[in-house]
Amino acid sequence: MIYAANFKTNHTRYTTKNYIQDLQAKLSTKKAEDKVYIFPPLTALDTFEGDFTIGTQNAYPVKNGAFTGEIGLEQLAEFNINTILIGHSERRDILGESQQDVAKKFSFFKEQGFEIIYCIGESLEIREQGINAVMEHLLSQFEGIDTNYENFVVAYEPIWAIGTGRTASVEEITETHNALKKVVNKPLLYGGSVKGQNIEEIARIKNVEGVLVGGASLKTETFLELVLH
Ligand code: PGA
C-alpha cells in the first residue's frame, strides 16, 4: 500500500521537521512493501532522509523564470525533490487550474522523470447522476495526460468526500476503482476523509493500492494509525 500525507496549507518548517523526526522513529515497524509519501507546504521542503519520499504539492512547469509566487524545477532540485502532486481538486477549483494547465504541468514534469501522483475526482452533483456520469467526468480529467507514463500514480478523490468527514462508500469506491483500472493500469489511490475508523475497509478493496490523506495526516499519531493499521 501507498500512504501519502498531503499537509496542504498546514504545518510550518519547524513543525514539519518535528513531525518527520517523530514519524521516522516509528516507521521501522511498517511493512517493507508499504510506501510512505509526505507532501509538506513549499516552505518546509528540505532534504529529509528516512523511510519515506518527500514530494511537492505543486510547482510551475518551468526551470526558473518570472512567475511571481511560484516555484520551479530549480527550487525543487535543491532538495532532490522529484515527486509531485498534480491535478488536486483544490488547485483545479480554488486556484483555477484548467485541464490544459494541468496537462502542461504533467508533460513538463514527465519530461523531467518525476513521479506524478495525479488527482481526479467528481463533484457531488455528478456523483448523483450515477457511475456513467462519474466515469465520463473522470476520463475527461485524463485529457492531455499520458496515462502510460511509467512513474504515474492516480489518486481518485471525490470532491464531496475531501475534508468533509463523508467518505465514499465501499461500493462507490469499488465500482469506481474497478472502472478506472480498466482504462489506467497504474496504482490507484483513494482519497477523501480517510481515517483510522475506515482504513481497514478501504485498504481491503481490491483495486485500492493506497490512500491520499489530508486531515488525518496532520498528526503523526493519526497518520501512523493508517500506515501501521
Ligand atoms: P482529506 O483530504 O483526507 O482531509 O479528506 C484528502 C485530500 O484532499 O488529499
Strand partners, 53: 37
The answer on whether 7 is annotated among ligand-binding residues is yes
Residues 186/118, Cβ–Cβ less than 8 Å: no
Is residue 194 in contact with ligand 1, taking CB distance under 6 Å?
A: yes
Is residue 210 in contact with ligand 1, taking CB distance under 6 Å?
A: no
pLDDT digits (tens, 9 = 90+) for 11-24: 999 999 999 999 99
Cα 202 to its chain centre, rounded Å, is 16
The answer on whether 193 is annotated among ligand-binding residues is yes
Is residue 87 in contact with ligand 1, taking CB distance under 6 Å?
A: no
The answer on whether 215 is annotated among ligand-binding residues is yes
pLDDT digits (tens, 9 = 90+) for 101-141: 999 999 999 999 999 999 999 999 999 999 999 999 999 99
Domains defined along the chain, listed by start:
2-227 (3.20.20.70)
Give catalytic residue positions. 88, 157
Angle at 57 between CA 126 and CA 217, to 5 degrees: 80
Instruction: Tell me the whole-structure pTM to 2 decimals.
Output: 0.97
Q: Is the dihedral of CA 141, 144, 149, 152 positive or negative?
A: negative
